[in-house]
Amino acid sequence: MKIGIIGAMQMEVDNLKEAMENQTTECVSGVNFVSGNIGDVEVVAAVCGVGKVFAAICAEAMILKYNPDMVINVGVAGTLTKDLSVLDVAVASDVFQHDMDTSALGDPVGLISGLNQIYFPTDEKMKNLLCDCLRDKGINYVTGPIATGDLFMHDPAKKAQVRSDFRAIAAEMEGGSIGHVCTVNNVPFAVLRSISDGDGGAMDYQTFAEKAAVVSIEIVLDFISRL
Q: What is the CATH number of the domain that holds 207?
A: 3.40.50.1580
Q: Is the pLDDT of residue 209 over 80?
A: no
147 is in which domain, residue-wise? 2-226
Residues 60-112: tens digit of each pLDDT: 999 999 999 999 999 888 999 999 988 899 999 999 999 999 999 999 999 99
Q: What is the pLDDT of residue 122?
A: 98
**Amino acid letter for position 8:** A
Q: Is the pLDDT of residue 117 over 50?
A: yes
Element (H, E) at 52: helix 52-66
- Split at pLDDT 50, 70, 90, the class of 208 is low
Note if 12 is an active site residue: yes
Q: What is the average pLDDT across 133-138?
A: 94
pLDDT for res 87:
84
Question: Is the confidence at residue 211, as pLDDT, over 80?
Answer: no
Residue 205: the pLDDT is 55
pLDDT over threshold 90, residue 217: no
The pLDDT, as a whole number, for residue 76 is 85
Q: What is the pLDDT of residue 11?
A: 74
Residue 95: what residue type?
Answer: V
Count of structural domains within the chain? 1
**Which one is catalytic: 42, 94, 197, 204?**
197
Could you read off the pLDDT of 147-178 as tens digits, one per residue?
Answer: 999 988 888 899 999 999 999 999 999 999 99
- How far is residue 176 from each of residues 16, 140, 189, 190, 208, measured CA to CA in Å? 22, 23, 11, 11, 23
For the stretch 14-64, pLDDT in tens is 778 888 999 999 999 999 999 999 999 999 999 999 999 999 999 999 999
Residue 202: pLDDT over 60: no
201: left (phi over 0), alpha (psi -120 to 50) or beta: left
Residue 124 a catalytic site member: no
**CA–CA distances in Å: residue 16 to residues 130, 160, 176:** 16, 34, 22
pTM: 0.92
Distance CA 8, CA 202 (A): 17
For 32, half-sphere exposure in the C-beta direction (CA atoms, 13 angstrom radius) is 11
Strand blocks (E) in 80-210: 89-97, 120-121, 141-148, 170-172, 189-197
